[in-house]
Amino acid sequence: MIEAGAVAGLEWADTAFPPPIDAAQQVSREVLDRDGRLLRAFATPEGLWRLKTTAAGVDPRYLRMLIAYEDQRFNAHGGIDPLALGRATLQFLGNGRIVSGASTLSMQVARLIEPRESRSLLAKLRQMARAIQIERRLSKAEILDLYLTHAPYGGNLEGVRAASLAYFGKEPKRLSVAEAALLVALPQLPERRRPDRHRAAAEAARERVLSRLAVAAVIGEGEAERATAEAVPSRRLQLPALAAHVAELARRTKPDATAHRTTLSAPVQERLEAVARAAAEKLGPKLSVAMVMADARTGAVVAEVGSAGYFDASRSGFIDMTRINRSPGSALKPFIYGLAFEEGLVAQETIVEDRPADFFGYRPRNFDMSYQGDVTVRHALQLSLNVPAVRLLDAVGPTRLMVRLRRAEVRPVLPAGEAPGLAIGLGGVGITLRDLVQLYAALANEGRMVRLGNGVDRDPDVLVADPLLDRAAVWTVTDILSAVLPPKSSRRLGLAYKTGTSYGYRDAWSVGYDGRHVLGVWVGRADNGAVPGLTGYDSAAPILFEAFARSGVAITALPRAPAGAVRIAQSELPIGLRRFATNANGLVTASAREPAPEIVYPPEGAHVELGATGGGDIMPLSLKLQGGRAPFRWLANGRLLPDASRRRQAQWTPEGAGYSTLTVIDAAGRAASVRIFVE
């Protein structure tokens, strides 16, 4: 009866006063790369680096050494080792002092999760009781994981992973015998044996572990002697602190998670951050660098550098410049040319004028204030000439360019109250680096558009339904951009790339791609200050090539030409494609001798997105025609548009969504019509 009562009393006590196991689960939050490698960790609220550790993530040899040194019968006892306890008691009675301890790993876990205030006999008895309670609740594997996570290693380091990263600069998955022995030795007296402060004491403690016979038996003959020759680390390293902006986004996205898996690659991220830091130092004070590298086929972000240094206040490093709208300069020109190629308005060897021009009050000038005269379209894009780009944008229509960008789920920001105009071709619009990379990813992906991930959560292969451009137009643009010479001191990598410089030398851009990856670079000041001499070619492009070369990403060949995509010599071009020019009457070609009018935009059967189904303001549609004799009359669904015009372009704002018929009539009474669908 008394025994039954005692058992019941112990059961009641065990239930009423459980060990604080749940509280011991609090660990540092971790941000991991796509392969589970640590990008960044955050200290616990107490300021501790306590990284969750399991036996599966630790070198098996270290585990054998730990058990051999600390608790040889760990897998057999129930929390207390009677043999070790008896040996320690006899040694104490015979020597009058503690010669060896009797703490099992379970007892050490009890002390770690519920620190004792003193080293009294009562505290020891309580620790033993807690060890028995822990053994009743947890498996041996779970107890070992708690020890691996909470063992102290000096300062604010707790757990084998934090210690291995801080002292050896690596995860504890693979440890040398010397490294494993040091990690076994430190937790007994972590402050007195810290290798960064007490190197001799750390070395002596490691020797004691290696000299233990039980340890020698599990590490192999001669290993201990070789391990003693290995130097003890003399300094503490910083834990990984990569992708600061993505890490903060991950914490905001899932504030309660202890581990956040991203799409980033830790090695690529580390190399690009190093390139950004070095480049910013070279460029000068207050300048920052941002980069985004993505997989063009899946949209997964491989690396994202929001600034040259997250903690560099002089460069406003805390601002994530990959997500800030800035003027892209000439970086959108390839998409203007792509539309012109797609419509068959020009070919690579078509001659286009690079001379001063007035587009109804808008007078674009080239960056160097000089003009090349007659140039081929190929050279105009390679040299990033402004006037030819505006001529082509005037032909295809700025609204159409904006519609294509929005089709790619990119939302450029126009000045307040302004409709799309010709200035957007030269940077008169705001766009983020991430959006620019998403656009160029379509060029690397043969026109197929993929939604760029945020680096944290991502559904793979999220393709946007419609292509940005047809494959032939994309190949033609890529063929031109891949022949642009790299910056000075940069070697050829097989990339197609484009640069951009915003008005006033505020932003420098460079975006390049191979057949698989796209990398975008932004350089500038976070406060939008002007930087004299800052250009895309001289400032951003060298960073692009260095980052691509040092990233470790294998260069993939650019896509081959699709059927129908060829580079034709000028002498072999149809006469209508040999020259592209504009005059006071609008679009003409060398073969234009007053042919019948033809509506070239919008084309027959086109679905045009103007915001008619979104409930907001409907955007105007640019109308373009070739041929015919001025003046021209436009009709929409049989209703005359106001005023006849001698221009071969007009604007029409539909009343709503649905099918519409557009008709133009020239001075000779000849007419042309197209039927379109407004969305």
Give catalytic residue positions.
70, 330
Measured between alpha carbons, how far is 89 from 92 in angstroms, rounded to an integer? 5
Q: Work out the angle at residue 258's Cα, subtended by the Cα atoms of residues 253 and 262, and round it to the nearest 5 degrees.
A: 55
Residue 11 neighbours by CB distance under 10 Å: 10
Measured between alpha carbons, how far is 497 from 486 in angstroms, rounded to an integer? 9
Measured between alpha carbons, how far is 477 from 473 in angstroms, rounded to an integer? 6
CB within 8 Å of 48: residues ≥ 6 apart: 28, 156, 157, 158
- Name the CA dihedral angle for 331, 333, 336, 342, rounded to a multiple of 10 degrees: -100
Q: What is the DSSP string of 463-502?
A: B-SS-SS-HHHHHHHHHHHTTSPPPTT----S-EEEEEE-
CA atoms within 13 A on the CB side of 649: 20
- Name the CA dihedral angle for 427, 398, 396, 431, rounded to a multiple of 10 degrees: 40
Q: What share of the chain is helix, strand, coil (3-state, %, to 5)?
A: 35, 20, 45
Q: Work out the angle at residue 328's Cα, subtended by the Cα atoms of residues 325 and 333, and round it to the nearest 5 degrees.
A: 140
Residue 653 one-letter amino acid: T
- Per the CB < 8 A criterion, the answer to whether 604 and 662 are in contact is no
Measured between alpha carbons, how far is 55 from 63 in angstroms, rounded to an integer? 8
Q: Which of 248, 294, 187, 245 is nearest to 511 (CA)?
A: 294
Q: State the angle between helix axes of 433-444 and 471-481 in degrees (0 to 180), rounded to the nearest 10.
A: 110
Give the single-character DSSP code of 282: H
CB within 8 Å of 313: residues ≥ 6 apart: none
CB within 8 Å of 137: residues ≥ 6 apart: 18, 19, 21
CA atoms within 13 A on the CB side of 84: 21
List Cα–Cα distances, 241 to 42, 245, 286, 455, in angstroms.
Answer: 9, 11, 22, 16
Residue 636 neighbours by CB distance under 10 Å: 18
Helices (H), 40-176: 60-70, 82-95, 105-113, 121-137, 140-150, 160-168
Residue 590 one-letter amino acid: A
- Name the CA dihedral angle for 455, 244, 242, 291, rounded to a multiple of 10 degrees: 60
